[in-house]
Amino acid sequence: MAVCIAVIAKENYPLYIRSVPTQGELKFHYTVHTSLDVVEEKISGVGKALADQRELYLGLLYPTEDYKVYGYVTNSKVKFVIVVDSSNTSLRDNEIRSMFRKLHNSFTDVMCNPFYNPGDPIQSKAFDSIVSTMMVQAC
């Protein structure tokens, strides 16, 4: 269960960011922003190899004391970032992968919508509902 989920465009501005509102959202925004550096580093490292060989799932970007940040990059350089609580030790890598997969699928659905202009903030309800299922249920 994620604490914060963010979708970042190719130009590194957020298309969608949602966090569990109980805690300061600013903190999550900042965490996601700093994680972009790690993402860039990871994707640039493999740049020499063929781009399509790069795996989409980046894995744990970096852990902080309270949180762990996972990253995922699509082939169009759209980045997904998931922040999970460190205390949630039961969350396995496979689960994170499946979360990213779902995110990617719903993101492509959003993209398919002709009324969505790429670069606009994502306002799709379907996408929202998918994200809600993955977020920690705020009491």
Residues that bind another protein (CB under 8 A): 56, 74, 97-98, 101, 104-105, 108-109, 111-116, 123-126
Nearer to another protein, 42 or 104 (CB): 104
Q: What angle do helix axes 125-134 and 93-112 make, rounded to 10 degrees?
A: 170
Nearer to another protein, 34 or 123 (CB): 123
Bridge partner residues of 81 (DSSP): 6, 71
Which tokens hold the place of 65? 């004391």
CB of 129 to another protein, least distance (A): 8
Which tokens hold the place of 98? 């499946």
Helices (H), the chain: 25-45, 93-112, 125-134
CB of 89 to another protein, least distance (A): 23
CA 32 from chain center: how many Å? 9
Nearer to another protein, 66 or 93 (CB): 93
CB of 87 to another protein, least distance (A): 27
- C-beta atoms surrounding 99 within 10 Å: 23
CB of 34 to another protein, least distance (A): 26
Nearer to another protein, 64 or 98 (CB): 98
